[in-house]
Amino acid sequence: MLLTLPIGTTVLVRPIEPEDKPLLSLGLKTLSPETAMRRFLTLKTSFSAAELRYLTEVDQVDHIALVAVDADHGFLIGVARCVRVAPDTAELAIVIGDPWQRQGLGRALVDELAVRASAQGITRFSGTMMATNRGAVRLMRGFGTHIDRDLIESGVREIVVQFASSAQLVAPMH
């Protein structure tokens, strides 16, 4: 799927592939420390070989992952994934590179992930984020049809949202 951000960048959104390991390694190095910290809740600067296998060799059933790449130059712009933690619930994780934040891409990736997750029987996303992470909180709280849980403990906020079944979801991208 292709979409164009308000700043003019054309973005290709596609399922992650095992061959994306170098793309992810490079992408992590381009993140600001703040963005990396918000995504991983620790100061992450590199992935181990095992982490790269886990992040890229996914079944797209219990672990669904999408990458957003610059359609013209091929570099990584964002990654969104969800991992099933209960029959109907998956843990959501997402990062958008700093230059492309606040362009609607996070919302578009989560919507697309929900369409794919719903087709696998998942109807709830849970998200864990720093309590001060206003963008992630807004993204999660503005998504779905019902908020099941919203708790803050030790500076970490956990939000669980329900979303519509696949029959009701319409892919937002063209």
Ligand X SMILES: CC(C)(COP(=O)(O)OP(=O)(O)OC[C@H]1O[C@@H](n2cnc3c(N)ncnc32)[C@H](O)[C@@H]1OP(=O)(O)O)[C@@H](O)C(=O)NCCC(=O)NCCS
Interface contacts to ligand X, rule CB under 6 A: 35, 38-39, 93-96, 101-107, 129, 133-136, 138-139, 142
- From the CB of 104, what's the least distance to ligand X, in Å? 5
Neighbours of 12 (CB within 10 A): 15
Q: Which residues contact 130 (CB under 8 A, 6 or more apart)?
A: 37, 38, 41, 136, 155, 156, 157
Identity of the residue, 121 or 135, whose beta carbon is nearer to ligand X in the bound complex: 135
Identity of the residue, 104 or 121, whose beta carbon is nearer to ligand X in the bound complex: 104
C-beta nearest to ligand X: residue: 106
Identity of the residue, 29 or 167, whose beta carbon is nearer to ligand X in the bound complex: 29
Among all chains, which residue has been given the structure tokens 């993140």? 31
Q: Give the bridge partners for 159, in sequence order.
A: 127, 150
- From the CB of 31, what's the least distance to ligand X, in Å? 8
Smallest Cα–Cα separation from 43: which of 135, 138, 130? 130
Nearest-angstrom CA–CA distance, 126 and 121: 15
Identity of the residue, 12 or 167, whose beta carbon is nearer to ligand X in the bound complex: 12
- From the CB of 95, what's the least distance to ligand X, in Å? 4
- From the CB of 127, what's the least distance to ligand X, in Å? 6
Identity of the residue, 101 or 120, whose beta carbon is nearer to ligand X in the bound complex: 101
CA distances from 130 to 13, 41, 107, 112, 153 (A): 26, 7, 18, 24, 10
- From the CB of 52, what's the least distance to ligand X, in Å? 18
Task: Enter the tokens of residue 45.
Answer: 């600067």
